[in-house]
Amino acid sequence: MKKQINIGIVGYKFMGRAHSNAWKKAPLFFDTPSVPVLKVACGRHQESLSEFAENWGWEETETDWQKLVNRPDIDIIDIALPQNLHYEVALAAAKAGKHIFCEKPLSMDSAQAVEMLRACEENGVKHYLNHNYRRTPAVALAKKMIEDGKIGRIFHWRCAYQQDWIVDPSFPLTWQLKKETAKAGPQWDLNSHAVDLAHFLVGDIVSVSSLTTNFIKERPIADETATGSLTGASKGDETGEVTVEDAALMMVRFQNGAIGSFEATRFATGRKNRLTFEIYGSKGSLVFDLERMNELQYYSNEDTKGEHGFRTILATESIHPYAGNWWPAGHIIGYEHAFVHAAVDFLDAIENDSEIKPNFADGLKIIQVLEAGLRSAESGVEQRL
């Protein structure tokens, strides 16, 4: 029988559900080196926590995360919390010798990220930052094609992450819209994913020029007991100030000479969770859209004259990264599957004592780019990293 590895999760809403599903599915579809056990779920409100634990099969509940982190029977701490709560939990988990599976963005600033990384390195624990879009088969295929030289030297990166869930001015002032709990708006939440993909596929960013704007400055106070991640209810007529940006634009220079652009907004009416990137190179181009996540668009200069054009690769063949563990070719997978792939890779990294990416070092680099973007938007000056 395979050995068991016990998981304690801190946080039980949107990401708590996504992570729970991943741990449960990982050993069912992949030959994992160990069997993850959903041991303890931790959160502040016992009633809703108990309901979550029962629904997802967590054996126990705990309302004090410090007690959870220090339990000797816990091997992995899964941080599924808002970013303002990552720092303390990650530091304590690392010092307790627990491996850490952490939701993005890593932290509230680069100083916190440096400390979190140092604590993990000093205590020899595995640390993973869940930018799960790297692990969709189509994106992993794009990485392989770039490494194989299919598009040649990269000239351009163009990326947009667009949502519309706060277009309505009556949407309440949830934690995502307050600087003290979110640090920033889509520059932090959405562009963290986009910058990770740019680092993964193109390379390191060395300078940033940015602007941000705010469209709605006051919103109704949220009823936190009724607020989910992307939905909410207000308490009444009282309003509060929105203290983060509603949209952000960045232009960047990469270390390899490529240039790029990023758009991140929650005011793209009609766009629910549209993350697109376009990569243009000397020999070809690649295009991806998360809302069509099984597809990768590829253009090759080496096609026969008169037959050039973008082709659609349906990344569901058994030869495509991760895809062979799911369904027959053409039977598409969804958003939740990339979380499963992350859980599988994390279990492998623990078993083989190998590195998993993106890790906290990658998270630090992302935070530094995002901070540079905020500084540039405030100063109007290009920021060097």
For residue 355, CA distances in Å to 54, 166, 267, 303, 346 come to: 33, 38, 37, 38, 9
3 alpha carbon, distance to own chain's centre: 29
Calpha distance 66→77 (Å, rounded): 11
Smallest CA-to-CA distance from 210 within 193, 183, 188 is with: 188
- Candidate CATH numbers 3.40.50.620, 3.90.1150.10, 3.40.50.720, 1.10.3720.10; the one for domain 4-125: 3.40.50.720
Smallest CA-to-CA distance from 273 within 168, 189, 169 is with: 189
Kindly write down the DSSP assignment for every residue of 305-351, as one continuous string.
Answer: TT----EEEETTSTTSTTGGGSSSTT----TTHHHHHHHHHHHHHHH
The owner of tokens 């990326």 is: 159
Span(s) in the chain for CATH 3.40.50.720: 4-125
Identify the H or E element spanning 128. strand 127-130
Instruction: Kindly state which CATH superfamily the domain 134-384 is placed in.
Output: Dihydrodipicolinate Reductase; domain 2 (3.30.360.10)
Calpha distance 101→81 (Å, rounded): 11
Span(s) in the chain for CATH 3.30.360.10: 134-384
Would you give per-residue pLDDT tens digits along the chain (385 residues)?
A: 899 999 999 999 999 999 999 999 999 999 999 999 999 999 999 999 999 999 999 999 999 999 999 999 999 999 999 999 999 999 999 999 999 999 999 999 999 999 999 999 999 999 999 999 999 999 999 999 999 999 999 999 999 999 999 999 999 999 999 999 999 999 999 999 999 999 999 999 999 999 999 999 999 998 866 545 455 677 668 999 999 999 999 999 999 999 999 999 999 999 999 999 999 999 999 999 999 999 999 999 999 999 999 999 999 999 999 999 999 999 999 999 999 999 999 999 999 999 999 999 999 999 999 999 999 999 999 999 9
Q: Are strands 35-42 and 99-103 parallel, antiparallel or unpaired?
A: unpaired
The answer to whether the beta carbons of residues 190 and 198 sit under 8 Å apart is no
Calpha distance 323→141 (Å, rounded): 10
